[in-house]
Amino acid sequence: MTAEAAGAPSLSSAAPGVRSPSATDPWWSRPGLDVCEGRLAIAGHDAESLARKHGTPLFVYDRRRFAENAERLAAALGRAGVRHRLRFALKANPDPLALEILRPLVGIDACSPGEVTRAMECGWAAAEISVTATNLSDRDLDAILAHDVHLNLDAVSQVDRLGRRLAALGRPARPVGLRINPGAGAGYNDKLAYSGVRPTKFGIYADRLDAALATAAGHGLAVDTIHVHAGSGWLADGLAAFEASLEPVVAIARRLIADGQPIAEVNVGGGLGVPARADEPPIDLDAYAAAIARQIGDLDVAVGCEPGDYLAKDTAILLAEVVTVEERDGTTFVGLDAGWNVNCSYFIYKYAQELVVCRAAAAERTERVTVAGHINEAGDLFAEDYTLPPVVEGDVVALLNAGGYHQAMSSTHCLRPHAEALFLDR
Ligand SMILES: Cc1ncc(COP(=O)(O)O)c(C=O)c1O
């Protein structure tokens, strides 16, 4: 559901059976993920016991957290007076059990025909789905155009291809959005900046905007949305870069409105990150909402906002068993029965999740180790030169912030199976 100008959220600080964190708890603890008598608990359940019962590797989700994250973000946008349409980037977690929780709270950002189908199967109406994809084929477009979803197009060639497909299918022209590449980006690191100084594959650059508009006009397609996704995973110190990426985009929206285009939405993408470690600065949502309000100014448009990770990342942990503790050439390697095939964020993005020993969740970290997985690649690591409490083979550890993208991006590389997933309600 699209929520415009949502009011104050109904956030319960702690659900029944779930303790509120105290000042001495670790930085990551929160209602639903905390330390209970020294042991890690998720959604009121002892994490190690879940691992022993269900086997490892095992994703364990605290389902209520999806809703809390969406409500917190909507409330901040509401407080700043931003008329918004909040959509979940479904790619971050397409599991129907996750989507069920988000269904009453948000619309959907989809990036493929499969995601459109999944969203509709899970109860979203076509009007609540916005598609921003890349390199869409004719087959993709035909499948997407079977539904009355809105499309943001990210290349001049895509505008032309859409116009041709609509004509070929005998369908009327429809308003479209244009994904802009502002040449400025933000991201957790440069692997996650989707626009910036170096050219990326996403979006229409300023020098091609007139070509995109002429192509749209040639097919009778009006432009009703201007879209940007600056990058992913940025934190408080990336807010200024995020805001800088909006400036040229809003200027384009202003120009198009002056030219008579029916611009109804400026979509600011997703990208809000979640800290991986204690020293990473969390985003101040009020500052985020204020930056958007400042840039939008007096423009009479809705603001599309399509986070994936911010709604999903801290909803889950991945539990794994320690199967090897061994020193190699001065480095202590802690080997787990999980690999990058089920938890790829360090392997692909160098996002280094915090690891917690489940039986000693708040214990002093005295050992310097490298934590590795069970895939036959040297890069299959979760943490390097990292401090943990002492661990022994047979211990269960939790990788935090495992709820966004990991399950969705899992593979059976080395014929290691997907991890099971457990969705818990507090
Ligand atoms: C167009 C678009 N919107 C939203 C997202 C969601 O990003 P995030 O999970 O970083 O919020 C992405 C991620 O790739 C994207 O490409």
In SS3 terms, 36-86 reads as ECCEEEECCEEHHHHHHHHCCCEEEEECHHHHHHHHHHHHHHHHCCCCEEE
Half-sphere exposure of 292 (CA within 13 A, CB side): 28
CA 233 to chain centroid, in Å, comes to: 8
269 Cβ closer than 6 Å to some ligand 1 atom = yes
Contact 402, 309 (CB under 8 A): no
Q: Identify the residue whose C-alpha is closest to ligand 1 atom 9.
A: 308
CA distance 115 to 129: 10
Q: What mean pLDDT is predicted for residues 252-275? A: 98
How many A from CA of 133 to the centre of ligand 1? 10
Ligand 1 atom with minimal separation from the 192 CA:
10
Closest CA to 120 of 148, 92, 84, 140: 148
306 Cβ closer than 6 Å to some ligand 1 atom = yes
Q: Identify the residue whose C-alpha is closest to ligand 1 atom 12.
A: 270
Instruction: For the chain, give the mean pLDDT.
Output: 93
58 Cβ closer than 6 Å to some ligand 1 atom = no
The structure tokens listed for 421 are 């997933």
Q: Identify the residue whose C-alpha is closest to ligand 1 atom 5.
A: 270
Ligand 1 atom with minimal separation from the 312 CA:
9
Bridge-based pairing state of the strands 367-372 and 355-357: unpaired
The fraction of the chain above a pLDDT of 90, given in percent, is: 89
**For residue 20, what pLDDT band results from cuts at 50, 70 and 90?**
low
How many A from CA of 411 to the centre of ligand 1? 20
How many A from CA of 269 to the centre of ligand 1? 6
Q: Which of 90-99, 197-206, 267-276, 313-322 is predicted least confidently?
A: 197-206
Say what the alpha-carbon torsion angle 21, 10, 426, 129 is, to the nearest 10 degrees. Answer: -120
The structure tokens listed for 74 are 């909507």
Per residue in 303-360, pLDDT tens?
999 999 999 999 999 999 999 999 999 999 999 999 999 999 999 999 999 999 999 9
Say what the alpha-carbon torsion angle 85, 89, 94, 96 is, to the nearest 10 degrees. Answer: -10
CA 138 to chain centroid, in Å, comes to: 27
85 Cβ closer than 6 Å to some ligand 1 atom = no
Per residue in 144-186, pLDDT tens?
999 999 999 999 999 999 999 999 999 999 999 999 999 888 8
How many A from CA of 34 to the centre of ligand 1? 29
Q: State residue 201's pLDDT score.
A: 85
Predicted TM-score (pTM) of the model is 0.93
Q: State residue 16's pLDDT score.
A: 37
Ligand 1 atom with minimal separation from the 306 CA:
4
Q: Which domains does the chain have, with CATH numbers?
A: 33-63+314-424 (2.40.37.10), 94-307 (3.20.20.10)
pLDDT at 17 over 90: no
Per residue in 282-304, pLDDT tens?
999 999 999 999 999 999 999 99
132 Cβ closer than 6 Å to some ligand 1 atom = yes
228 Cβ closer than 6 Å to some ligand 1 atom = no
How many A from CA of 65 to the centre of ligand 1? 19
CA distance 180 to 249: 7
238 Cβ closer than 6 Å to some ligand 1 atom = no
270 Cβ closer than 6 Å to some ligand 1 atom = yes
Q: State residue 6's pLDDT score.
A: 30
